[in-house]
C-alpha cells in the first residue's frame, strides 16, 4: 500500500463542536488528500462485524427489549484490529465501523416487528414464516433507510452542523482520530473508555450487577423519579448540552410526575383498556407501558410531521441539487467529501424496491401497501435521522415511530374496506410497519455514520455503499437467527424470549383492525406536541421523545447536560492562553473526548455482554446460564435500599471523573 502523508492537524478541530456552516468545516483528512478507504480488508472485516453485532443485539432485544448501538463498539474494534495488523488508514477504520454498525440497526428494526409473526403463528397455523421472507423484508427496509438518508445528508449533516450534535457519530470520530494520532488526547479518550467499560461490567444487571444501576424513588399516586445511571447516558448528555437535555427531561417529567398519577386517579379500581387488570393493581412501569406508550407514539408521530413540514423546503433543495449532479459530469466538480451516490440511482432503486415488494408474494401487500411503504419510510427516515442527531441512536424511539406507521396503515386499510378480519390483512399491515421500522432504524445508524465521515473526511458515496453491504449481510443471516431462537426458546412466550416491542405491535394491529385501540391516549400525545411546538415555541420532537421514553433514561442525560452548562459558565470568560488557545474550547473538547470514551467503553461491553449471553444460552440450551456471573443480585435482593445508595454514589463518582477530566490542564 502506498504511503500517505498524515494530516497536518492533530485531533478534530474545535469547529467540530461549533455552530458553523458545514461548508466552512475542515475535516481531519482534507478533501484534497487521497487515502485508502474502500478496501477488501475493510469490507470483509466490516461484514463480519455486521453479522456478529446483528445476532448479539437480536437476542438481547428479544429478551429485554433493548438494543445497544454498535457504531462506537465497531469503531473501537476497528481501531484495535488495524493496530494489530499494523496497517490501515483512518478512512479504512471508518469503513469498517460503517459496515459493522449497519448490522445492529437492521437487527433492531427486525426484532421490533417481525417476531409478531411468530406470536400469531401459535394461534393461526395459516401464518407461515420463512427465511426468505424475513431476509427480503429486512433487506428492503434497510436499503430504503440508507437510500432515503442520502438526499438528507447535505441538510442534516452539513448545513445543520453544530445544531445537531450527533453524539455517537461525534464520539466515533473522536475514537478514530485518537487512535490515529495518539498523544495526550488519545490517552484521555481511552482512559474514559476504560472507565466506561469497567463501570458497565460492574453495574450492568446482565454483567456482574454489583450495585443497582437504576435506583428510583416511588412518589404518591405511582409517580416515580429515578435514573439509569450508566456511562453512555451521562456521556450523551454532556455532548448534546443542556438545552436539548432539559427539553427531553421535561417531557419525561410531565409523563412520570403528572400524567401517570392522573391516569391512576382516573382509572381507580376499574379495568381500563388496553390493560386487563384493575388500574389499582398496576405499577408505574405498567401504566407507562399500557398507556403512556400510546401518548408518546402520538406525540412522536405529530412532532415528526411538524419537523418534516418545517424542513421540507430544504429537503427539496437538497434533492434538486443531488439530481443536478446525477449526470456524472457535475459530480466531479464537488470535493471528494461532498460526493453522494447519484440521486437518479437513489430514486430508481427506491421505486424498483416498491415494485418488487408489490409483486413478491412473500410480502402480501398490494400496490397501495407498496406506496405506503415508500411514503412512510421517507417520512420516518427524516424523523429518525433528526432524532439521532439530537440524542443518539441508542435512545432513538423507533418503536414509537413504528406504532405511528402501523396506526396510519391500519386506518387506511379499514377506511378503504381492505380489512377482511383475516390473517392476510394482519400480515400485510405488519409487513408495511416492518419495512418502515427497519428503514427508520437503518437511517438512524446511517446518519451517525455519515456524521462521523463528515468529521474525519471520508467519502460519502463510498460510505453509502458500505452501509448497503452491511444491511445485506445482516439481512441474509437475521432470519436464521430468529428461526433458531424461536425453535430453541420460543419468541413471545412467558418462559422464553418476551419480545416486548413485537408483542406491542401485534396488539396495535389487532386493536385498530378490531376497533379496540385506545385512541384517547394517542390524541393526548398529538395535542401535547402541538402545544409545545406552537405555544411554547420549543422543539416538539425532543419533547415527544422525552414523553415516550422512561424518565430513568432522561435523568442521567440531564445531569450530563447540566455538567456541560457548568463547564461553559466556569470558563466562558477565561479568554485565550499564551499560546492563543481558547480555554473554553479546550475544556469543552477535553470533556467531550472523555465523554466519548465513556460512551464507547460502556457500549462495547454492553455488546460483548449481549454476545456472551447469546453464546451461553445457545450452546447450553439454558436461558438462565448467563446468571452464573451475576454475582451481585443476591445481596441487592437482601438490602435493595443500600444497593440503590451504592449505585447513586458510584454514578456521582463517575460524574466527578468526567468533571476532573474536563477541567484539568493537560500537556499538548
List the grid coordinates of 266. Answer: 382516573
pLDDT at 2 (0 to 100): 41
Please, are residues 614 and 194 in contact by the beta-carbon 8 Å criterion? Answer: no
List the grid coordinates of 123. Answer: 394461534
Q: Which positions ≥6 away from 614 have C-beta within 8 Å?
A: 55, 56, 59, 60
484 or 54, greater pLDDT: 54
599 or 117, greater pLDDT: 117
Tell me the three-class secondary structure of 312-369, residue by residue: HHHHHHHHHHHHHCCCCCHHHHCCHHHCCCCHHHHHHHHHHHHHHHHHCCCCCCCHHH
How deeply is 26 buried, as exposed, middle or buried, from its count of CB atoms within 10 A (0-12, 13-18, 19+)? middle
pLDDT at 296 (0 to 100): 84
| H/E stretch holding 420 | none
Q: What is the rounded CA–CA span in Å between residue 415 and residue 427?
A: 18
Condensed to tens digits (0 to 9), the pLDDT of residues 599-643 reads: 778 877 776 776 677 677 767 766 666 666 677 777 777 888 888
User: Looking at residues 478-498, what average pLDDT do you find?
Assistant: 72
Q: What is the rounded CA–CA span in Å between residue 43 and residue 639?
A: 50
Mean pLDDT of the chain: 82
User: Looking at residues 419-425, what average pLDDT do you find?
Assistant: 76
Conformation bin of residue 215: beta by default, left when phi > 0, alpha when psi is -120 to 50 = beta
Split at pLDDT 50, 70, 90, the class of 597 is confident
Q: What is the rounded CA–CA span in Å between residue 275 and residue 662?
A: 47
- Judge whether residue 668 has pLDDT over 80: no
φ/ψ (deg, to 5) at 101: -75, -20
- Judge whether residue 10 has pLDDT over 70: no
Among residues of the chain, what percentage have pLDDT more than 70? 87
Please, are residues 273 and 514 in contact by the beta-carbon 8 Å criterion? Answer: no
User: Looking at residues 72-95, what average pLDDT do you find?
Assistant: 82
pLDDT at 250 (0 to 100): 94
Rg of the chain over CA atoms, in angstroms? Answer: 24
Split at pLDDT 50, 70, 90, the class of 471 is very high
pTM of the model: 0.75
pLDDT at 320 (0 to 100): 66
φ/ψ (deg, to 5) at 37: -140, -65
pLDDT at 67 (0 to 100): 63
List residues bridging with 226 in a β-sheet: 216
Condensed to tens digits (0 to 9), the pLDDT of residues 324-378 reads: 554 444 455 788 988 899 888 888 898 888 888 888 877 777 888 888 888 888 8
- Judge whether residue 581 has pLDDT over 70: no
Centre a 10 Å sphere on the Cβ of residue 641 and count the other Cβ atoms it contains: 10
How deeply is 667 buried, as exposed, middle or buried, from its count of CB atoms within 10 A (0-12, 13-18, 19+)? exposed
Which of 296, 246, 292 has its CA nearest to residue 555? 246
Split at pLDDT 50, 70, 90, the class of 5 is very low
Q: What is the rounded CA–CA span in Å between residue 78 and residue 90?
A: 9
Three-class SS state of 437 = helix
pLDDT at 467 (0 to 100): 95
Which of 89-93, 291-295, 604-608, 635-639 is least confident?
604-608
Condensed to tens digits (0 to 9), the pLDDT of residues 161-186 reads: 878 888 888 888 888 887 787 666 66
- Judge whether residue 3 has pLDDT over 50: no
Amino acid at each position: 500500500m502506498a504511503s500517505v502523508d498524515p494530516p497536518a492537524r492533530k485531533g478534530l478541530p474545535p469547529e467540530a463542536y461549533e455552530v458553523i456552516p458545514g461548508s466552512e468545516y475542515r475535516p481531519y483528512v482534507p478533501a484534497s488528500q487521497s487515502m485508502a478507504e474502500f478496501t477488501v480488508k475493510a469490507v470483509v472485516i466490516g461484514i463480519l462485524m455486521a453479522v456478529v453485532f446483528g445476532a448479539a443485539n437480536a437476542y438481547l432485544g428479544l429478551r429485554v427489549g433493548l438494543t445497544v448501538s454498535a457504531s462506537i463498539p465497531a469503531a473501537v474494534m476497528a481501531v484495535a484490529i488495524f493496530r494489530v495488523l499494523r496497517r490501515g488508514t483512518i478512512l479504512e477504520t471508518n469503513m469498517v465501523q460503517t459496515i459493522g454498525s449497519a448490522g445492529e440497526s437492521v437487527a433492531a428494526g427486525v426484532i421490533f416487528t417481525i417476531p409478531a409473526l411468530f406470536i400469531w403463528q401459535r394461534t393461526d397455523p395459516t401464518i407461515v414464516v420463512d427465511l426468505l421472507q424475513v431476509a427480503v423484508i429486512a433487506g428492503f427496509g434497510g436499503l430504503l433507510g440508507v437510500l432515503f438518508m442520502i438526499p438528507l445528508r447535505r441538510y442534516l449533516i452539513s448545513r445543520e452542523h453544530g445544531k445537531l450534535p450527533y453524539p455517537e457519530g461525534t464520539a466515533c470520530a473522536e475514537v478514530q482520530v485518537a487512535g490515529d494520532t495518539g498523544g495526550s488526547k488519545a490517552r484521555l479518550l481511552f482512559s474514559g473508555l476504560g472507565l466506561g467499560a469497567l463501570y458497565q461490567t460492574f453495574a450492568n444487571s446482565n454483567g456482574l450487577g454489583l450495585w443497582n444501576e437504576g435506583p428510583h424513588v416511588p412518589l404518591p399516586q405511582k409517580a416515580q423519579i429515578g435514573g439509569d445511571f450508566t456511562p453512555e447516558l451521562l456521556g450523551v448528555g454532556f455532548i448534546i448540552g443542556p438545552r436539548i437535555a432539559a427539553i427531553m427531561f421535561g417531557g419525561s417529567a410531565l409523563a412520570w410526575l403528572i400524567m401517570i398519577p392522573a391516569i391512576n386517579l382516573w382509572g381507580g379500581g376499574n379495568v381500563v383498556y388496553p390493560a386487563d387488570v384493575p388500574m389499582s393493581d398496576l405499577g408505574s412501569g405498567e401504566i407507562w407501558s399500557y398507556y403512556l406508550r400510546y401518548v408518546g407514539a402520538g406525540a412522536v408521530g405529530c412532532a415528526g410531521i411538524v419537523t418534516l413540514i418545517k424542513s421540507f423546503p430544504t429537503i427539496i433543495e437538497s434533492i434538486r441539487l443531488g439530481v443536478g449532479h446525477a449526470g456524472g459530469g457535475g459530480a466531479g466538480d464537488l470535493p471528494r467529501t461532498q460526493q453522494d451516490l447519484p440521486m437518479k440511482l437513489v430514486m430508481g432503486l427506491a421505486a424498483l424496491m416498491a415494485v418488487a415488494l408489490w409483486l413478491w408474494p412473500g410480502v402480501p401487500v398490494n400496490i397501495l401497501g407498496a406506496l405506503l411503504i415508500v411514503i412512510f419510510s421517507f417520512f420516518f427516515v427524516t424523523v429518525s435521522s433528526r432524532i439521532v442527531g439530537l440524542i443518539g441512536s441508542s435512545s432513538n424511539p423507533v418503536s414509537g415511530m413504528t406504532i405511528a406507521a402501523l396506526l396510519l396503515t391500519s386506518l387506511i386499510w379499514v377506511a378503504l374496506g381492505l380489512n377482511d378480519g383475516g390473517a392476510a390483512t394482519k400480515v400485510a399491515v405488519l409487513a408495511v410497519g416492518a419495512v418502515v421500522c427497519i428503514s427508520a432504524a437503518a437511517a438512524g445508524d446511517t446518519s451517525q455514520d455519515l456524521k462521523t465521515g463528515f468529521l474525519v473526511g471520508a467519502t460519502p458515496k463510498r460510505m453509502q455503499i458500505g452501509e448497503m453491504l452491511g444491511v445485506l449481510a445482516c439481512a441474509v443471516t437475521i432470519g436464521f437467527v430468529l428461526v433458531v431462537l424461536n425453535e430453541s426458546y420460543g419468541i413471545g412466550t412467558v418462559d422464553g424470549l418476551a419480545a416486548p416491542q413485537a408483542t406491542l405491535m401485534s396488539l396495535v394491529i389487532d386493536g385498530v383492525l378490531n376497533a379496540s385501540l385506545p385512541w384517547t391516549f394517542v390524541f393526548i400525545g398529538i395535542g401535547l406536541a402541538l402545544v409545545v411546538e406552537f405555544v411554547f415555541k420549543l422543539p416538539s420532537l425532543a419533547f415527544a421523545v422525552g414523553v415516550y421514553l422512561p424518565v430513568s433514561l432522561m435523568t442521567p442525560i440531564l445531569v450530563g447536560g447540566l455538567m456541560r452548562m457548568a463547564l461553559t459558565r466556569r470558563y466562558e470568560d477565561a479568554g485565550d492562553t499564551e499560546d492563543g488557545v481558547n480555554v473554553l474550547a479546550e475544556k469543552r473538547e477535553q470533556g467531550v473526548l472523555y465523554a466519548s470514551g465513556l460512551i464507547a467503553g460502556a457500549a462495547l461491553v454492553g455488546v460483548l455482554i449481549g454476545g456472551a449471553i447469546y453464546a451461553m444460552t445457545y450452546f447450553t440450551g439454558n436461558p438462565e446460564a448467563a446468571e452464573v456471573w451475576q454475582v451481585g443480585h443476591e445481596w441487592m435482593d437482601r438490602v435493595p435500599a443500600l444497593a440503590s445508595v451504592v449505585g447513586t454514589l458510584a454514578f456521582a463518582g463517575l460524574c466527578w471523573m468526567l468533571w476532573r477530566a474536563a477541567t484539568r490542564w493537560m500537556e499538548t
